[in-house]
Amino acid sequence: MNPLNFADYRYQRGLATAQKLDFLAPLLLRFYLAPIFILAGWHKLSDLESTAYYFGEYLGLPFPELMALLAGTAEFVGGIGLLLGLGVRIFALPLMITMVVAAVTAHWDNGWHVLPETQLTMPWEWRGDLIDAASERKQTAISLLQQHGHYDWLTEAGSFTILKNGIEFAASYFVMLLALFYLGAGRFISIDYWLSKLSHRHHERVVPATL
């Protein structure tokens, strides 16, 4: 066996071994996203009046009460579905729509980055003006706090920053949900997997009997 064939053989063997753990990718995506959506949905549903006011007055959405209820329900119920691995492909769709609406209405005007990083993590930031303005204000605020505040105490739990609130998180969650839509809930640790196994076994029993 020449070196190229041997390398390809080892690669294929390694890939086959790694694929035995392919259930980990959708599992970790689900477990990462589930608490985010469950908590976000719960906060909306537990204070629908304030959520509807924000949707209507600040985001300019039509039918804000209905939109608040739909968004909160999609996030809360969809988050539980992701956690359990139940109806993952079905729940991914309304959650993706929710992320698109959030990105367009609440975050788009602020550009890409959530935080005004001077060293951009993505080259397509379209609100560089906000980054420059936020950096200027951040330095001014730090200077004021150092002169007149307990700056060391204020920064013990983390550095002082300014929220830019771009679409970064909404876009990232959308991409992760899109992956789950195509991957599904994953093998073994999901209700969808075991329901699919039961359905397949039932189909195998029924089809021969009808031939």
Q: Largest Cα–Cα distance of the chain, in whole Å?
A: 86
pLDDT band with cut points at 50, 70 and 90 for residue 209 = low
Q: Is the pLDDT of residue 210 over 80?
A: no
Q: Which residue segment(s) compose the domain that 35 sits in?
A: 23-111+166-211
Report the pLDDT value the prediction gives residue 48, as an integer from 0 to 100.
Answer: 97
Q: Which residues of 79-88 are buried (b: 16+ CB within 10 A; e: fewer)?
A: bbbbbbbebb
Report the pLDDT value the prediction gives residue 208, as an integer from 0 to 100.
Answer: 60
In the predicted model, what is the mean pLDDT of residues 161-179?
Answer: 96
Report the domain count for the chain.
2
DSSP for 42-97, please give it. HHHHHTHHHHHHIIIIIS--SSHHHHHHHHHHHHHHHHHHHHHTSSHHHHHHHHHH
- Say how many residues make up the chain: 211
Residues 45, 106, single domain; the answer is: yes
Q: Which helix (H) or strand (E) holds 138?
A: helix 128-148
Residues 65, 154, single domain; the answer is: no
Residues 171, 100, single domain; the answer is: yes
pLDDT (tens digit, 9 = 90+) per residue, 65-99? 999 999 999 999 999 999 999 999 999 999 999 99
